């Protein structure tokens, strides 16, 4: 489709100083494309939380973003340890993050709930020892 814009980012492992750069970059692109601030915020927050998760839990990974006038899809793929219990991970307050992460103001078990809160569709595919794919879509109404 001609009006699909595709972006690709790599998230580095264990580097908190750059966590948020990919979501920041996408935010800028969406602003230039003229999306409403409401839509931009939803995408930016969902991506940012996911990016932080990739740094915390999964030694980084890759993000593919597809932008059309109708929707923005973000696919986050990592080769991390996988999520043992997705239902538990979706509960607000449940976290397996360590002290280092908490000192940064994260790791309070709000990551996945926040991603769900800000997106219209969210699918998690995970396999223990192989990795996780978080596929999120925000529709432009």
Rounded least distance, CB 3 to other proteins, Å: 26
Question: What is the spatial distance between Cα 137 and Cα 100, in angstroms, rounded to a whole number?
Answer: 30
Rounded least distance, CB 57 to other proteins, Å: 14
For other proteins, which residue of 23, 77, 119, 132 counts as binding (CB under 8 A)? 23
- Residue 131 burial (CB count, 10 A): 18
Q: Are 89 and 83 in contact (CB under 8 A)?
A: yes
Burial of 38 (0-12, 13-18, 19+ CB in 10 A): exposed
How far, in whole angstroms, is CA 51 from its chain's centroid? 5
Among residues 52 and 89, whose Cβ is nearest to other proteins? 52
Rounded least distance, CB 21 to other proteins, Å: 8
Tell which positions 67-96 bind other proteins, by CB under 8 A: none
- Residue 4 burial (CB count, 10 A): 10
How far, in whole angstroms, is CA 63 from its chain's centroid? 8
> Which of 47, 53, 51 is closest to 67 using CA atoms?
47
For other proteins, which residue of 3, 6, 10, 17 counts as binding (CB under 8 A)? 17
For other proteins, which residue of 22, 48, 57, 126 counts as binding (CB under 8 A)? 48
Tell which positions 97-126 bind other proteins, by CB under 8 A: 103-106, 108, 110-111, 113-114, 117
Residues that bind other proteins (CB under 8 A): 16-17, 19-20, 23-24, 27, 37, 41, 44-45, 48-49, 52, 103-106, 108, 110-111, 113-114, 117
């Amino acid at each position: 489709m001609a009006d699909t814009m595709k972006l690709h980012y790599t998230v580095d492992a264990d580097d908190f100083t750059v966590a948020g750069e990919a979501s920041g970059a996408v935010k800028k692109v969406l602003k230039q494309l003229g999306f409403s601030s409401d839509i931009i915020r939803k995408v930016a927050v969902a991506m940012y939380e996911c990016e932080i998760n990739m740094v915390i839990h999964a030694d980084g990974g890759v993000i593919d973003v597809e932008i059309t006038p109708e929707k923005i899809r973000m696919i986050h793929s990592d080769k991390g340890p996988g999520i043992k219990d997705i239902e538990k991970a979706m509960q607000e307050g449940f976290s397996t993050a360590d002290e280092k992460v908490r000192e940064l103001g994260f790791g309070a078990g709000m990551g996945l709930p926040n991603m769900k809160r800000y997106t219209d569709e969210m699918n998690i595919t995970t396999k223990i020892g192989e990795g996780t794919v978080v596929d999120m879509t925000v529709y432009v109404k």
